Amino acid sequence: MGVLGSLHLPLRHTAVPRATHTVRVAIALLQGSHTTASAQQRYWLKRFRQARRTGTALIRLRQVLIVILKPIIAQKAFVAKHPLSDLIPFPLPNLNMKLALTALLALVPALAAGAPWLHDVTDPLSSRAMYEQLAAAPAMKRSGDDFSSAKYTHIVVGGGTAGTALAVKLSEDPAKRVGLLEAGPIALDRADTNTPGLFGANLGTNLNYNYTSKADVAPAVAWPRGKVLGGSSALNFLVWDRASKAEYNAWEELGAKGWNWNNLYKYMKKSEKFTAPSAEDQAALNIKTNSADYGNAGAIQVSFPRYISEQVKRWIPALEELKIQHNDNPLAGDNKGASVQPSDILPSNSTRSYSATAYFAPASSRPNLSVLPGATVQRIVFSSVRSTSGNVVATGVDYTHSGQKFTAALVSSGEVIVSGGTVNTPQILELSGIGQKKVLQSAGIKQIVDLPGVGENVQDHVYTAAVWKLKNGTVTLDSLRNDPAFAADQQALYANNQVSILQETVPAIAYLTLPQLVGKAKALKLVAKAAAYVASANVPYKASLWKQLEHLTKRLDSVAQMEVIGIDGFFAPGAPQAGVNYVTFLAAQQHSLSRGSIHVQSSDASKAPIIDPKYFTADWDLDVLTAGTSYLRNVANTKIYKANGFVENEVLPGQGVDLTNYSKQNVVTEYHPIGSASLGPKSQGGVVDSSLKVYGTQNVRVADASVIPIHVSAHIQATVYGIAEAAAAIIHNKWTYLQ
């Protein structure tokens, strides 16, 4: 999902071709002659040649391609769905379609924001040399033979948000030999990933698995998942927040001993290094931060965007007008209310701080850490001899790399840690023979461990969007699409590490309880409806439904059920009008009663699993989401947003539209799926115990979002980093409650 062009939800993304060949094509395009080029096109080519030895060469390159490649965007329907398709704003005659299209797709990141290594800063993580150095670092392996030449104390399957962080934390012990296998590439040098204001631009690239959910009560929905070192931490929208104490304590109350607010808060803070905004920025944002709420020595850089938009300045006063309290400390265990949230941004140069750059890059020279990108794990390999307790014993993993099959082996006391995320972790377990007999049989896989909870209990956050036109002259992310000169100026500012709209993220967030959303009387009616649904449910994870109902009864006024978000720009189904700027408000349901599943469909690891989130199988979910959609009108119609004509007319859903049907047909995942390998007792659908060990195995653990047993009202990356830090402590025998 991108912010520079028309956004189409749900998305159907196209893959970006390999850059090496296509960059050569682009260079040839620029260096050659164009008999069909107009005088305007030839002028820009001349300008590029004059400027290519200067610091503005990249901006000139963008201007050249804006002129040359617009007709390609206009004529290729599938490109029109690309997040950056509307960056080129005006029509021109046709040129060589195939040649120009290939060049465009390869260079979209550079066109959009400039390369991060052009920033005039000293931070080594923003240099091209850094990327090349990392690619040649001792930890980086180039072949399966190279990776499999060693035996490992720990093999981490999946180099995503948690997996990369965990592998690095384990390698802090020089006695451990850690191997990390990641299906995607290493891509630390991409502007579409590193530039905060381009959040979502890389969803239409080869860094995304491009999964799609199964249609059920709701239509099929795109499920983006990161296929790159760093995983979805390279793709997400950079929101850094936490849920309430009660929501984390619910994990332990469901049987996950030690997994409570106090412990998780410690490990979440351990992952972060917070930089407070200036007093001037705090005043502009209507906030007062408390550094004690954050960690100060972790890997992930947490700060506030330097660019502050008009919409964000109005956010907290507008929500206060609706009697939603202002929350200055939303990361300290009480998240309800309106806030301006921080982002995972490196403050020295305003680039994304994520698992690959923050954890892996500083550790890439460790001799006891091996990382192999482009490796697809086929299965965990088990010994034919079980342990004395009857558990299966992993001896390594089978994987493919560059079309060849390899096996990575463990030392005799070694462990496999699966960190494939909520989608790929159950897939890997089932490919290895761990799961429900019925599912495994239908896929042609021999069952080794009977574990019915694998792939079940899937929960997600879903949202709907509503859009309003803003008064003429308002600057939003739409301005990058509407005004090429403005876009070029902002690129130049960003490249020189000055304040730029390309530093913007999604900080305007409010968490609402059910009474705040619909009023106390209607809230109580909805609680009664939820209670009836839970009482009638016949599922092995019913305990989590009862706990969720407890949030609605005992904690009706303290646990948030709805997230409301303000975004600068058009961020919804359909297409924006040229030359117009918009504000989009999102309503995201935080505690759906519906539970879905993720299961393999064959024994072939290259085939995507079946993602069946079962959205709206509980009518209650649609009732609450529809109420959220309606509430967005309350936000847009506040005096604060209406002042000086800032917000004008409603574009979506539109007057007279049935909000229930609109919410159902336009539902989108908030990219926070959890629960497919839950913590908790096996009898209640649990897959891992409190030490993250998979039931029935001697030495297989899971560490990622899939272990979360019941959802939390938060964007989950800070929680997932906390899980990785906690997992490392468990494996290092430093989490004392287990001893």
Residue 434, classed as helix, strand or coil, is strand
* Catalytic residue chosen out of the listed positions 13, 82, 591, 715: 715
Q: Does the annotation count 34 as an active-site position?
A: no
Q: Which residues, 6+ apart, have CB-to-CB distance to 453 below 8 Å?
A: 540, 541, 677, 678, 682, 685, 686, 687
Closest of 210, 686, 715, 257 to residue 460, by C-alpha: 715
Under a CB-based contact definition with an 8 Å cutoff, are residues 374 and 119 in contact?
no
Q: Nearest-5° angle of CA 140, CA 141, CA 143?
A: 155
Q: Which residues contact 12 (CB under 8 A, 6 or more apart)?
A: 78, 81, 212, 222
Where in 403-482 does DSSP place strands (E)? Answer: 404-418, 434-435, 449-450, 462-470
Strands 668-669 and 597-599: unpaired
List the catalytic residue out of 119, 401, 461, 672. Answer: 672
3-state SS assignment for residue 382: strand
Cis peptide bond N-terminal to 10, omega within 30 = yes
Rounded-to-integer distance, Cα 48 and Cα 68, Å: 13
- Side-chain-side CA neighbours of residue 358 (13 Å): 29
Residue 715 a catalytic site member: yes
Dihedral in degrees, nearest 10, Cα atoms 637, 643, 648, 653: -20
Q: Is the peptide bond before 653 cis (omega within 30 degrees of 0)?
A: yes
**Which two structure tokens, joined as six digits, stand for 430?**
């089932």
The single-letter code of the amino acid at 678 is S
Which residue, chain included where needed, has tokens 């690619």? Answer: 135
| In contact, 575 and 6? CB cutoff 8 Å | yes
Closest by Cα among 647, 562, 583 to 324: 562
Catalytic residue numbers?
A: 672, 715
